A and B are shown apart, each in its own frame.
Chain A
């Protein structure tokens, strides 16, 4: 079976004036469809750099990243943007919803970009907001929602175009423990419903909720284990 994501000997250097920061030093990783994987490690170990490569936000200095069999490092800006739109969902620590749009409009945004018809957008955004337990908040703007609610809208937005891969960078980082737990439960439910989920986190409870945990240190994967959580 072909892995959904396959990273091979990936290196990522960030050039400085005289030297370079070696964020990733030859990382290889395969993620199958339906997996729930957490990437953990100390700050600066390369977790987010790896996530950016897995999400085609960044290109490796060397090595290859294949998602659904496509080497995303070879795609041009327009192609890779469209690839992200249709195949990858992102959730960020700071939600980054558009403040002038309602929850529903925020969720509809990626669908509008993908050319989904208005009626279908409306129906799907309603379903997604119900899925994240925000069916009664569709007309609210981000400023009228709590942090946890905003993150749930961001998750609904990430799922808008039915991505094959959901990536989350510290999704509970801005939330209190109880709200964070709600988000962790939501990720579990998403994965149980078939979504492939990859999270980068410092949050131990979120990492334990994943079925596979990848430990990183100094730009390398030092341990890849099945979660005992």
Chain B
């Protein structure tokens, strides 16, 4: 008789399972009743008693490995910590590369427009406004990069998640990448801050160019 359908979180992809009472199983398997159970799941009425219950079970059943859900999660977490560290390192490297890239792009852009910038200063545009304009360009570049990068990251994460989740023996319910809006906003915020910082130096340098000599050089160039 089918009592219902359940989805077990620890099942690997494609793995099928049937849930039946232990006694029914033992009756079905006949005489061979020893060592037929590989996993017992125990649910406590009072979760705060998990420590004493674990100790009692270990003492009563020394051949059985007793672990709590929290222990199991900790073990998985430990294994994933390398992955998390790698992600953090890759993220930091990406941030540094992004910072250098924006600095380079802003510097190149500024160098190509030295004449324009110096003329702006000559006609009376303040140094602060020139800096503001260039920093805004760097920031806009970073925001565009951050938005595009986040989109690309989501697509890549979904693709990688699909590949990694197909590893044999892994529960199908495990996700290696989870979209967390807070993390996405943090990344976009960090990149935007990088854009502001990356634009500051070239902007200040451009706005501080000596007007007369730069105009002379531009006229000769």
Known: A94-B115, A98-B116. A86 touches B124 (CB 8 A): yes
Q: Which residue of A lies closest to B128 (CB)?
A: A78
Question: CB distance B127 to A77 under 8 Å?
Answer: yes
Question: CB distance A81 to B219 under 8 Å?
Answer: no
Question: CB distance A48 to B219 under 8 Å?
Answer: yes
Question: CB distance B212 to A57 under 8 Å?
Answer: yes
Question: CB distance A85 to B115 under 8 Å?
Answer: no
Chain A 1-25 interface 0/1 with B at a Cβ cutoff of 8 Å (1 = within): 0000000000000100000000000
Chain A residue contacts of B218, Cβ below 8 A: 94
Alpha-carbon distance A88/B129, docked complex (angstroms): 19
Any B CB within 8 A of the CB of A187: no
Any A CB within 8 A of the CB of B43: no
Question: CB distance A90 to B123 under 8 Å?
Answer: yes
Chain A 163-204 interface 0/1 with B at a Cβ cutoff of 8 Å (1 = within): 000000110000000000000000000000000000000000
Chain B residue contacts of A110, Cβ below 8 A: 123-125
Chain B residue contacts of A93, Cβ below 8 A: 219
Question: CB distance B219 to A157 under 8 Å?
Answer: no
Any B CB within 8 A of the CB of A131: no
Chain B residue contacts of A57, Cβ below 8 A: 122, 211-212, 215
Any B CB within 8 A of the CB of A158: yes
From 181 to 211 in chain B, residues with beta carbon under 8 angstroms from any chain A beta carbon are: 211
Q: Which residue of A lies closest to B121 (CB)?
A: A81
Alpha-carbon distance A85/B129, docked complex (angstroms): 13
Question: CB distance B211 to A113 under 8 Å?
Answer: no
Question: CB distance B124 to A114 under 8 Å?
Answer: yes
Known: A57-B212, A58-B212. A113 touches B116 (CB 8 A): no
Chain B residue contacts of A52, Cβ below 8 A: 211-212, 215
Chain B residue contacts of A96, Cβ below 8 A: 115-116, 119
Chain B residue contacts of A86, Cβ below 8 A: 124
Any B CB within 8 A of the CB of A36: no
Any B CB within 8 A of the CB of A208: no
From 65 to 86 in chain A, residues with beta carbon under 8 angstroms from any chain B beta carbon are: 77-78, 81-86
Alpha-carbon distance A157/B215, docked complex (angstroms): 18
Question: CB distance B119 to A92 under 8 Å?
Answer: yes
Alpha-carbon distance A57/B211, docked complex (angstroms): 6
- Of B116, B215, B216, which is in contact with the most chain A CB atoms at under 10 Å from its CB? B215
Any B CB within 8 A of the CB of A109: yes
Any A CB within 8 A of the CB of B213: yes
From 116 to 161 in chain B, residues with beta carbon under 8 angstroms from any chain A beta carbon are: 116, 119-127, 129
Contact of B211 among A58, A89, A94 (CB under 8 A): A58
Known: A57-B211, A98-B116, A113-B129. A157 touches B123 (CB 8 A): yes
Chain A residue contacts of B213, Cβ below 8 A: 14
Chain A residue contacts of B219, Cβ below 8 A: 48, 93-94, 169-170
Question: What would be 17 A-B contacts, judged by CB atoms less than 8 Å apart?
Answer: A48-B215, A48-B216, A48-B219, A49-B212, A57-B211, A77-B127, A84-B122, A88-B124, A92-B122, A94-B218, A96-B115, A96-B119, A98-B116, A110-B123, A114-B124, A158-B123, A170-B219
Can you list the 10 inter-chain pairs with the closest CB atoms, starting with the nearest?
A85-B124, A58-B212, A96-B119, A84-B124, A52-B212, A57-B211, A113-B125, A96-B116, A57-B212, A57-B122
Residues of chain B at the chain A interface (Cβ within 8 Å): 115-116, 119-127, 129, 211-213, 215-216, 218-219
